[in-house]
Amino acid sequence: MTIDIDENYLLGQLKALLAISSPTGYTDEIVHYCSRELERLGLHPELTRRGAIRAIRQGSRRRGARAMVTHLDTLGAQVKFIKDNGRLELVPIGHWSARFAEGARVTIFSSKGSFRGTILPLKASGHTFNDEVDTLPVGWRYVELRIDALTHSLQETRALGIDVGDTVAIDPTPEFLDNGFINSRHLDNKAGVAIALAAIEALERAGAATPVDTHWLFTIAEEVGVGASSVITADVASMLAIDNGTTAPGQNSSEFGVTIAMADQSGPFDYHLTKKLVDLCKVEEIPYQKDVFRYYRSDSASAIEAGHDVRTSLVTFGVDASHGYERIHTDALLSVAKLVGAFAVSPVEIQRDLQPISGVEGFTHQPTELADQPHPTPAEAKAASHAGND
């Protein structure tokens, strides 16, 4: 069954999600938004104490369920110190370089309300510092947050209600181009959430049946490594994470089609589940490529580290300049959403996975046979040998 993804719905959700600030630790409002949208689509979201969402779309059986996981939280910053001049020293929320913070417009969430401001290098005026503007090192120690309020001292800033520990949200500044390119901060992972919602919308619109329950999971602390550690139930046998892939020199990811991750820094993804995704791409004629991420982890890693015995995989939309000034293309979003929908309705092939523990009967095999190779004639072998010595 081919799942028809509504492009306008997907892009509309992405725009709406980008408009809601949600750095890790300040995700309540986006949890409310996502929960309302899931209810509108006909699902019944359940929330953990801190706000991770689980919405189960019922299938033919409960055991051996599949989970689709993505995260609502984004990068951000936090007030580390109020300086004597009233400006703010920051520490990052999540792993991102201060190089991409310089010049960012931001919102500071204080106990007395929100304030606007700009992150600037300590030496921001060329008219004052001349070439020192260009020689200042890059790092969070070398930037400060200028608050758009009347303050020139530590006491005046504190009087505003701003204090150490306050959350700073970075403006996404999205731009959707007619040629399909999308530029914005926080496409990691607002785009993944939009993909999940678009897949749900397509499944509901088609009245699609699934062989097992599908658990749609939306986590709130992936950027700091927690992710899907506490929202998975024992019924889940396999989990597909939806996140960004890194299009950069030395990587095989692309801003087009689906990028299927074979491994990240936590190790290889499940062989059988990953192979199934590749096979689905071939059957559904979804363009794809594979990649390995060395400095990357996702919700899948946090689930395994928390002790969940689930098969894990990761499908990604290629992001240029990830964790910086990010860019994606609509083609990848639609491709990933189509694959997610295809996986949801695909048959369960490993029946043993319906039980958390069972005997060896029915346990999977991985191919170990020698590959078929052509046997060259002596003349062909001699020609190949001479070619290699040229």
Q: Which secondary structure element, helix H or strand E, spans residue 188, and what is its range? A: helix 187-206
CA 310 to chain centre: 19
Choose the catalytic residue: 144, 222, 223, 255.
Answer: 222
Respond yes or no on whether the N-terminal peptide bond of residue 85 is cis (omega within 30° of 0): no
Whether residue 284 lies in the annotated active site: no
Beta carbons within 10 angstroms of residue 263's beta carbon: 16
Query: Is residue 335 within 8 Å of 286, Cβ to Cβ?
Result: yes
Query: How far is Cα 345 from Cα 60, in angstroms, rounded to an integer?
Result: 11
Which residue type, as a one-letter code, is found at position 234?
A: A
Q: CA dihedral defined by 32, 38, 44, 49, rounded to 10 degrees?
A: -30
Query: How far is Cα 348 from Cα 355, in angstroms, rounded to an integer?
Result: 13
Beta carbons within 10 angstroms of residue 352's beta carbon: 15
Q: Which secondary structure element, helix H or strand E, spans residue 196, and what is its range? A: helix 187-206
Closest to 300 (Cα-Cα) out of 282, 314, 279: 314
Give percent helix, percent strand, percent coil of the chain, each to the nearest 5: 30, 25, 40
Q: CA dihedral defined by 207, 211, 213, 215, rounded to 10 degrees?
A: -80
State the alpha helices, DSSP H only, in 19-70.
Answer: 28-40
Query: How far is Cα 388 from Cα 390, in angstroms, rounded to an integer?
Result: 6
In the chain, the largest separation of any two C-alpha atoms, in whole Å, equals 88
Beta bridge partners of 245: 318
Query: How far is Cα 186 from Cα 323, in angstroms, rounded to an integer?
Result: 8
Catalytic residues, which ones? 222
